[in-house]
Amino acid sequence: EAEVAQSPRYKITEKSQAVAFWCDPISGHATLYWYRQILGQGPELLVQFQDESVVDDSQLPKDRFSAERLKGVDSTLKIQPAELGDSAMYLCASRGDIDPWAFFGQGTRLTVV
């Protein structure tokens, strides 16, 4: 069964360092999402791509976060510099053109120390 791949699964980084997460969506899925989930809360959308274009990044803290999907396939989410409050689970999801539901990866658990 096709899956959304994310790496790394866990990341510990020091405050003020740069960190990057990678996501490979299900093949053929044009829509890709990055969500942030703080412990004990629901996922919140950071950025949504349609192919290589950003559809919604209204909740992305653009002073420190950036996201790209250069060839419309895999995607990278970067944080620079990381802050203590960025500690969270970062979830990637993808969605096909026909079915309105999204498939999620296993997530990257980020701890900023």
Partner 1 sequence: AQSVTQLGSHVSVSEGALVLLRCNYSSSVPPYLFWYVQYPNQGLQLLLKYTSAATLVKGINGFEAEFKKSETSFHLTKPSAHMSDAAEYFCAASNFGNEKLTFGTGTRLTIIP
CA angle 95-101-105, nearest 5°? 60
Cβ closest to partner 1, residue 57 vs residue 81: 57
- Measure the CA–CA gap between 103 and 25, rounded to whole angstroms: 9
**Helices in the chain by DSSP H: which ranges?**
none
Handedness of CA 82, 35, 49, 4 (dihedral sign): positive
Would you count residue 23 as binding partner 1 (CB under 8 A)? no
* Cis peptide, bond prior to residue 25, ω within 30 of zero: no
Give the Cβ contact number of residue 93 at 10 Å: 24
Residue 45: CB minimum distance to partner 1, A: 6
Site string for partner 1, 39-68 (x = CB under 8 A): -xxxxxx--x-x----xx------------
Smallest distance, partner 1 to C-beta of residue 60, A:
13
Residue 95 binds to partner 1 (criterion: CB under 8 A)? yes
Contact residues for partner 1, defined by CB under 8 A:
4, 6, 31, 33, 40-45, 48, 50, 55-56, 89, 91, 93, 95, 100-107, 109
